[in-house]
Structure 1
Amino acid sequence: MPHYRRVGDVPRKRHTHHTDDSGHRFAEELMGQEGFSSDSSLLYHRHSPSALTAIEAIEVGDDTVDATPDRPVTPRHIRTALVGSGVDASGADSSSDAVTGRRVLLVNDDVEVSWVEADRSSGLYRNATGDELVYVQAGTGRLDSVFGRLTVGPGDYVVVPASATHRWIVTDGPLRLLVIGSRGHIGAPRRHLSDHGQFLEHAPYCERDLRGPEEPVVEHDDDVPVLVRNRGGWSRHVHRHHPFDVVGWDGCVYPYALNIHDFEPIVGSIHQPPPVHQTFELPGAVICSFVPRPFDFHPDAVKVPYHHANTDSDEVLFYSEGDFMSRAGSGIGVGSISYHPAGFVHGPQPGSVEGSLDATRTEEVAVMLDTFGPLRVTDAARD
């Protein structure tokens, strides 16, 4: 979990009346996880966040995508540069935003892996199916939310909690984004945390590396549409007042960013297993970071990943930047996704082991998702 933060105008005691100098009473909203028995935040709105003027069911982007089992079991190379744009909320082809332009590539009952190149800013969006982790491969932008603004750029992991109203702003695009949607909550691996939630000394990153919103965003528009996604599909809610009317909030649920280059790699004299690279955990999956680091220093160490079989998981690896020695000659490069399903033994390209003998470092930057349920493959990925 991210650590406690307090931003803006918050009363001394929770669940007490909170007013401004003119006597206007703010509306308190409790955003609580796991039936209010886990992490939560309290937000103070100028107006009721429940006041709606219209509701309608809609279809958006790839929500109805047909994903089929990986049969026959086949490893794949997905070239994100060739993945097309999505469609807008009306169903028409358009320039892409970071929400409606997503193309789903791989999916199971726990996670959904999408790719999007956003060249325009999105409207307001709220995902009630679970947390989202968005990795920024290129471009710069901003995540605006009811919690405030968060500037993002290349290498940033951005964790957006379920049901947080937000939008993606493109400042220097396109924003090239790998989106991992969870059916639950995304957080730091529990083994990196104390019983009270503090990062331990052996953790590869800590609270100092996490960036959260610094101040509220207050907007005053009326009749504001918000796309809402839940497990039944998409809806459009029109809010009587702009959801960005929060004057203050506090708690442990909020969007935050961690740059992949702030992840401190763990190395050894021989090759270290993937769990040392684990950065996040979520129901049914883990996410790992591969960053520039010294190679293994035993004189006989096999420096590139040896052949291995994921007996209990499917492996998805996104190549973000750098030089991928173990994939030399395969066509894998920046922007590639490799998919290695359970049941397939994979390893280094021919010649990679010999090419690594005199190397002392690896300069790769990559994101890995291991899922413990089999992934289904979409037409966008097969293409």
Structure 2
Amino acid sequence: MATDLSAQPGKLAHIHLGVDGGAEKFFVRLSRALAKRGVEQVAFIRKDRPWRNELAEHCDVREMTFSRSHIKRHVIRWNIARQIRQFGAGVTMGWMSPASKWLPKPGPDMRTFLRLGDWPDGFHTYGNVQDLIGNTPEIIRQAVEMGWPADRAHVISNFVDPLPADLQPVNRADYNTPEDATVLIHLGRFVRRKRFDLAIETVARLPQNVHAWLIGDGDLMEDMKALAAERGVTDRVHFLGWQRNPSPFLKAADILLCPTDEEPLGNIVLEGWNAGLPVIATASPGPSWLIEHGKTGLLSPCGDVEGLVGSVTNLQETPGLRAELVDGGRAYLSKNYSEQGVLNSYDLLLGS
């Protein structure tokens, strides 16, 4: 029978090799929520992560060097397993595929999980993984289709923290944005699949009072700045860099834009609903699973800039649609992606 961690607080180990992004924000958020339920945790992470101190507020943090050397890997994995035993954890959760090679061997006193927030890329390093946790059904469907046992694959999605009641929006003037502009906001890494180019192309096809705030960093940043210059919208497309706390920007924006091609979940959709924004997205797997078109957001085909333009125009020209989408998104978020509901699912799985 499943053991409820909220009733019998246990000990949990994490292995997370990430840098800084939505997955890392949720890792800290989940760890904090588990700590509030009395779960003691230890986390093995790379050195100098920008979220290290935030995690350390509620979790024992061990910073390590993860070598690519085959010989050193065995020594490091043995060291991690030894520290986990000393800590007293009976469950270890790896975060994303790179963590799989560092998991301790499962056994009578150790259960191992690998949490995926992106598509599985093969199981060649999954030898010590007992169960997979995916944050969308599509991730798990692909894993099972690739040969992972269905009875060892589980879906548990994400949750977001409610915004503070006294949260103040950023001052638009500080970002060269008129107070009366319609501001589209898109967040993420500047990589191909996030399609920041579509956000720029959308602004270029809309009236002068439409601006875009692009929050993030990455390899394609300079390419996107060049595209904005080519389309003549450098005064309306604002590159705001990576923001550890994007909430004040979300609160100051008008529409959350998610134009991605291959989005497993779409944390920014949840963030948009949480901030009280109407959401416009392309129909990649995650947003298609999250959004009911016309009720909790507006969907258009992937890669279709005219569809995005039409969605923005529809929002601007249809009285009451904004309020309907905002109310629908908030209600859906509260019902399906609450902290309590997600934690209960982890309790049942990790504590079983």
Q: Which category of TM-score, normalised to the shorter sequence, fits these structures?
A: under 0.3
TM-score using structure 2 length? 0.22
Q: Which has the higher helix share?
A: 2
Kindly indicate whether structure 1 or structure 2 has the higher relative contact order, using CA contacts under 8 Å at least 6 residues apart: 1
TM-score using structure 1 length? 0.21
